[in-house]
Each structure stands twice: as structure tokens, then as C-alpha cells.
Amino acid sequence: MVPNVATVDVVCLGVLILDVHAFPVTEIPEGQGGQRIEQIRLSAAGAAAGTAVDLSILGCSVATLGAIGTDEIGDFLLSLLAKRGIDTSGVRRTSDAQTSATVLPIRPNGDRPTFHVVGANARYRLDDTALALIGAARHLHLGGPDSMGLFIGDGARQALECAAEAGVKTSLDILGGTPSRVAGELRALFPFLDWLTPNEEQLCDLYALDDPLVAAYRAIDDGVGGVVVSLGADGCLVVDGAGVTHVPGRRIEVIDTTGCGDALSAGFIAGLLDGEPPSAAAELGVATASIVTGVLSSDPGVADRVTIDNARWTLAPATPTRRY
């Protein structure tokens, strides 16, 4: 029997992480030395949970799917998602692994070395509740399937096929690097995918290329409907059948770059759901990512849709570091 589920705008299926941010960290003390800093924050993160939080802030109804441990970290992560009104009924808990978590000592310039535990993310499997949620949504976002063990193959394809059968639009973001085996499994998903939203390094790794624009066209040749390539401070490229659009970054004081890719994906999806063309949706994505860089968190903090829309129109474009 297929479970009854509530209709939502977006289902974010993928990596769920609790991030611990410490700022500013100039060095790791030796031995048992200590260092006083200004802030420590905890936030829901990962290419599924982080994107889900950003989408909720942007006014979308959201459900998350993934796996966490039965530990206290998992309890706290669920509470953070619940505070944002995110449906976590499809999150599965396991006693076989801890909830995925990352410690991020943030440098004064916003750089973020990481200490990461993969944990329960690698143990997720689809079930009837997940498929019912996907079929009832307007959009499915796969966040970091490359970091989900066996799910990247048959599970991810099944989720995308379920979405296609229900007329649900789809997108996919990459979490880490892409060794050859993982790259091949990701590319096998592209014929079922409307949008790919990686950063330029991830995209180039997929095809062992140096040029993100060439790599984006390779992804389209492999079946993706379109590609939104994050360029960091330079904004993003939107590549689809209509051509190429460069959306410049925005000038803002950088505190913490954690979660910028998730924010770009969230803003882009929210714009598409509002009926905006891809280039305009990408402008909302860049604005969302810009706000995220200005706070110590994996999300826009206390910002709301009005604040982010205002940033979209009022933040000055950054000067590109190269020609697009």
C-alpha cells in the first residue's frame, strides 16, 4: 500500500549533516593548548538538509529524505529542521552509524577546512514513503548522491524515474570530488535529470576537463536538460538549450562560505517554482548564496525571502576575476 503523504513544493533527498562552525580560527593550538574565538554555531547542512533549510526560508514547503543515526546529534539535527517547518517523516534512523557531522574551523577570510564523519548517509535506501513523497512534490532535488554509498546507482535512478513518471522536475548537486567510478555513475543519471548544479571543480572533475563551459556542454550531450555552474565569488553560469548566461556574484563581506552551493541550488529551484526563466532563477540563487557568505552558518540565518529578494536587486555585482 502506498502511504498517504502531504504535497510539498520540493523534496530534498540526500546528505544530512550537522555542521559545527567556529570563527575565527587562525591556527589549531598544539597539544592541549586553547584559543578563544568569537562564535560557535550549529546548523543543519549537507546538500539535502542545507538546501531544504534555504528553500524553507525562501517560502517553499519542503520534505527531506535521508538517513541519520539514533544518536543525540540526529535528535538535534531533526529539531533544527523541524524549527524550519520541514517534513522529516521520510528521514530514516539507524543504530549502525552515527549521524553525519562536520567541524569547520572558519578562517578570518571565510575559508573553511573541514573535519568530517560520513556516518549514516552511506546507509540510506529508498522505501515506499520516500517514493510517495517524491511523486507528490513539484520538484525533486538530489543533494550529494555521490556521498551516499550504493544509493548513487540504482537508488538515485529509481528516485529520478519516479519523479519523471509523476511529472516532477529534478535537479542534482554534487557534494565531494568525483573519482572515475563515481563520475560514471553520476553521468548515467543525466538522461533522467532536468538540472545539474555543481561547482566548477566538481563539474570539470566529471569529465577530466579544465573548462567548466566545455564540461557543461558535455553534461548536456549526456542528457542533462541544463547546468548551473557555481563559480564562487564570480557567481554562476547557466548553460542550456537557450545558450549561456553569466550571472555575476555580489559584493558582500565574507564571513563563512559554508553552504553557498546549497544556497545557490535552493534559490535557483525557488525561482523556477515561481515561474522565472533559468537566468532570473539563477540571480535569486546567487543572491541567496551571497547572504549565506555574510553569516556564520550553512544557511542565511535570520534572513527571509524579502531580505534575499532585496539583496538580489541592491547588492552591487562583484568584479569578475576572468571573462565568461
Summarize pLDDT for 261-288 with one digit per residue, the tens.
Answer: 999 999 999 999 999 999 999 999 999 9
Round the average pLDDT of the chain to a whole number and report it.
92
Examine the pLDDT at 180 and tell me if it is beyond 90: no
The reported pLDDT for the residue numbered 2 is: 52
Examine the pLDDT at 15 and tell me if it is beyond 70: yes
Q: How many CA atoms lie within 13 A of 96 on its CB side?
A: 8
State the cell numbers at 135: 511523486
Tally Cβ neighbours within 10 Å of residue 83.
11
Examine the pLDDT at 88 and tell me if it is beyond 90: yes
- pLDDT category at 179 given cuts 50, 70, 90 is low
In whole angstroms, how large is the CA radius of gyration of the chain? 18
Peptide bond into 108 cis (omega under 30): no
Give every CB contact of residue 78 below 8 A, 6+ residues apart in sequence: 68, 88, 91
Examine the pLDDT at 105 and tell me if it is beyond 80: yes
SS3 assignment, position 13: strand
pLDDT by residue (tens digit) across 111-167? Answer: 888 999 989 998 999 999 999 999 999 999 999 998 887 677 789 999 999 999 999
The reported pLDDT for the residue numbered 178 is: 66
Share of the chain above pLDDT 70, in %: 97
What are the strands, taking DSSP E only, across the chain?
10-14, 17-23, 39-45, 62-69, 87-94, 101-105, 115-117, 139-143, 169-173, 195-196, 226-230, 236-240, 243-247
Q: Is 70 exposed, middle or buried (0-12, 13-18, 19+ CB in 10 A)?
A: middle
The reported pLDDT for the residue numbered 171 is: 98
The reported pLDDT for the residue numbered 1 is: 44
Q: Is 32 exposed, middle or buried (0-12, 13-18, 19+ CB in 10 A)?
A: exposed
The reported pLDDT for the residue numbered 150 is: 63
Q: Are strands 236-240 and 243-247 parallel, antiparallel or unpaired?
A: antiparallel
